[in-house]
Amino acid sequence: MKLNDITDNEGARHARIRVGRGIGSTKGKTGGRGVKGQTSRSGVAIKGYEGGQMPIHMRLPKRGFKNIFRLDYNVINLGKVQTAIDAGKLDAKAKVDVAALVAAGVLRRKKDGIRLMATGELKTKVDFVVAGASEAAKAAVEKAGGSVTVIVPKPPVEKKKPAAK
């Protein structure tokens, strides 16, 4: 089965009624909306309304937790760095950090730092300055003769509000 083979069941979706003009067209005047009331007008928002009963989306329990202090890293593989070096976009002799990768066009934007992963093969001696690296990536870089320096990124500083008088 492929994604483009998936179809809805026959008759599960109704075609939109092409509204006529005037009562002679059989689908004119009220246009299949019945007579008066909220649903005969545009801008109806009663899909989740359950007649005053607490709606299902409010009855169900909330789950999870969103950590507002979590850092968002760019993940980059060794194979992608090697491709950039081979293409001449990245200088292997200079230290490879976020700024160098963004300037080379390997990364689109600077986030909170780089996480180095071991997918692909690194043949060139490269010195990395990153926020994190997998053990396999460190081993692969050191095997190629390079080094990995892990720096801890600083969390964003909160501005203190002045004391109220």
d(CA 148, CA 121): 15
Q: For the ranges 38-42, 73-77, 113-117, 144-148, which has the lowest average pLDDT?
A: 38-42
d(CA 39, CA 45): 9
Chain segment 73-128, per-residue pLDDT in tens: 999 999 999 999 999 999 989 999 999 999 999 999 988 999 999 999 999 999 99
Alpha-carbon dihedral angle through residues 105, 107, 112, 116, given to the nearest 10 degrees: -120
pLDDT for 65 equals 92
**Residue 38 carries which DSSP code?**
G
Q: Which amino acid is at 42?
A: S
- Taking residues 16-40, report their average pLDDT: 88
Domains along the sequence of the chain with CATH:
74-150 (3.100.10.10)
d(CA 89, CA 29): 66
Of 133, 93, 136, nearest to 113 by C-alpha is 133
pLDDT for 46 equals 74
